[in-house]
Amino acid sequence: MKIAILGAGAMGCLFGGYLSRHNEVWLSEVDEAKVEAINRDGIRIREADGEGIYHPKALTRTKDLGVMDLVIVFVKAMYSRSAMEENSSLIGPDTYVMTLQNGAGHEQVLKDFTDREHIIIGTTKHNSSLIEPGYVNHGGGGAGSIGLLEGNGEAIAHIAETFTRCGFETTVSDCVKKSVWKKLFINVSASVMTGILQTSLDFISESDHAWILTERLVREAVSVANADHMGFDADEIVAEVRDLVDHAHNGYTSIYADLRNGVRTEVDTISGAVVAEAKRLGVAAPAHAFVTELVHAMEDRNGI
């Protein structure tokens, strides 16, 4: 497959490296230092048992590449539209556009660039952190799922097979929105709390007060999801989030890093996504509304 990945950050490099095992892969990135490092040294991925080096191509302009089979969006949510505009020449009538970004609602941008039958939303349990340009730490992962925004999932079975062959176990789901919610429950509770408190994930488990707030966010998010007929068991979801923080072992989240580093967060597509869904469904989500504004206030404090 011909695959273009928008964004050469930690996740873009991880997927770009692995997918280049059996595909033609290009990474589109505005940071020239990252592009130079990748083209010079390849993408280095540090694993628990050593390192691998992969050689996809990186570039700052994609206008001469032609149409891709698959475009994967891995930029931060606030840059999705500008990235899609800059790389629109990659998208033809048969091109699939995929988002595996944190949060939810990214399809609202993608649908301005292709039809609903070519938009893939999905989740991944793989995580990655940037050590330096083109060099990332693969923190682990698990099975992921993808699905079409509209249409028969069989049409993208070959994409799931390609991902699995390259090291990302992937299945096609006709209810991928439920998988997106399951990942969102963690991001809008434990993850956002680590950003606000500026702590590692395991602190959420250590502090009774932090856990009380986290559980409140989980249960409220489940109530919003179930208003859309998702059918989640709130106690089961709470137990899953608790198990994650109990075994986090000094894990740090992207929203923690963004607030620490004084850069804008993706809170509007994380906690803000719950607020937006609550408004659409006519239910209340006061805790998530509060958290969204609190994170924005912290951004204001940081002058961003």
Are residue 26 and residue 151 in the same domain, yes or no? Answer: yes
For the chain, the three-class secondary structure string (H helix, E strand, C coil) is: CEEEEECCCHHHHHHHHHHCCCCEEEEECCCHHHHHHHHHHCEEEEECCEEEEECCEEECCCCCCCCCCEEEECCCHHHHHHHHHHCHHHCCCCCEEEECCCCCCCHHHHCCCCCHHHEEEEECCCEEEEEECCEEEEEECCCEEEEECCCCHHHHHHHHHHHHHCCCCEEECCCHHHHHHHHHHHHHHHHHHHHHHCCCHHHHHHCHHHHHHHHHHHHHHHHHHHHCCCCCCHHHHHHHHHHHHHCCCCCCCHHHHHHHHCCCCCHHHCHHHHHHHHHHHCCCCHHHHHHHHHHHHHHHHCCC
Domain boundary pick from 174, 202, 229: 174
Are residue 201 and residue 283 in the same domain, yes or no? Answer: yes
Are residue 157 and residue 275 in the same domain, yes or no? Answer: no
Q: How is the beta sheet containing 50-54 ordered, strand by strand? A: 50-54, 43-47, 135-140, 127-132
Domain boundary pick from 139, 174, 209: 174
Q: What is the pLDDT of residue 119?
A: 97
Are residue 292 and residue 256 in the same domain, yes or no? Answer: yes
Q: What is the pLDDT of residue 125?
A: 84
- Domain harbouring 241, CATH code: 1.10.1040.10
Across the 304 residues of the chain, what is the mean pLDDT of every consecutive 10-residue run? 96 97 98 95 94 97 96 94 97 97 89 96 88 90 90 95 97 87 93 95 95 98 96 97 86 89 93 96 97 97 86
Are residue 187 and residue 163 in the same domain, yes or no? Answer: no
Are residue 155 and residue 240 in the same domain, yes or no? Answer: no
Q: What is the pLDDT of residue 226?
A: 97
Are residue 46 and residue 170 in the same domain, yes or no? Answer: yes
Are residue 126 and residue 207 in the same domain, yes or no? Answer: no
Domain boundary pick from 174, 195, 225: 174
Q: How many domains does the chain have?
A: 2
Are residue 245 and residue 143 in the same domain, yes or no? Answer: no
- The pTM of this model reads 0.84
Q: What is the pLDDT of residue 105?
A: 85
Are residue 126 and residue 36 in the same domain, yes or no? Answer: yes
Are residue 143 and residue 189 in the same domain, yes or no? Answer: no
- Domain harbouring 154, CATH code: 3.40.50.720
Domain that holds residue 52: 2-174
Whether the Cβ atoms of residue 160 and residue 175 lie closer than 8 Å to each other = no
Are residue 29 and residue 165 in the same domain, yes or no? Answer: yes
